[in-house]
């Protein structure tokens, strides 16, 4: 397909992430921050991955509402001569839980409840984007 065509295919997803930008949109569903080849997912006191997150004192800072970083998603490209986006790579980091000592320092990366929650947010964003075709599979980054 080529890099340009693949970026155009994913453009509706990034546009939806911009529409639901946590920095400017106070709506409950606005939990995203778009980049050029993916996006970040943030949680709020009302919408978060699990019980431990409810114990975090979230602040708005430069954003439209109180929040904390949860995940990053970027495109997984095929290998070879015909570039294609073959997945959405997901990685989570519960920095706020680690920093408040709600979890041990070595247990903040790719926690199962964070992964499950973030996958649901990506699936929701895909539906909201009205992107054509099937959503690429979500692949958890094991690094």
Could you read off the pLDDT of 115-132 as tens digits, one per residue?
999 999 999 999 999 888
Q: What is the pLDDT of residue 66?
A: 98
pTM: 0.94
Q: Has residue 67 got a pLDDT over 80?
A: yes
pLDDT band at 40 (very low <50, low <70, confident <90, very high): very high
In DSSP terms, which residues pair with 21 in a beta bridge?
32
Helix axes 3-19, 112-129, angle to 10 degrees: 100
Domain ranges of the chain: 3-140
| Cα radius of gyration rounded to whole Å, the chain | 15
């Amino acid at each position: 397909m080529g890099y340009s065509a693949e970026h155009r295919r994913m453009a509706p997803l990034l546009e939806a992430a911009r529409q639901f930008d946590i920095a400017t949109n106070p709506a409950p569903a606005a939990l995203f921050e778009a980049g050029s080849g993916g996006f970040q997912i943030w949680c709020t006191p009302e919408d978060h991955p699990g019980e431990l997150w409810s114990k975090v004192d979230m602040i708005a800072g430069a954003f439209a509402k109180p929040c904390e970083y949860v995940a990053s998603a970027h495109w997984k490209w095929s290998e070879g001569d015909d570039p294609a986006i073959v997945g959405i790579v997901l990685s989570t980091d519960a920095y706020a839980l680690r920093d408040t000592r709600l979890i041990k320092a070595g247990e903040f990366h790719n926690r199962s409840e964070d992964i499950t929650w973030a996958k649901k947010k990506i699936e929701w964003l895909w539906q909201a984007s009205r992107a054509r075709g099937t959503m690429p599979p979500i692949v958890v980054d094991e690094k």
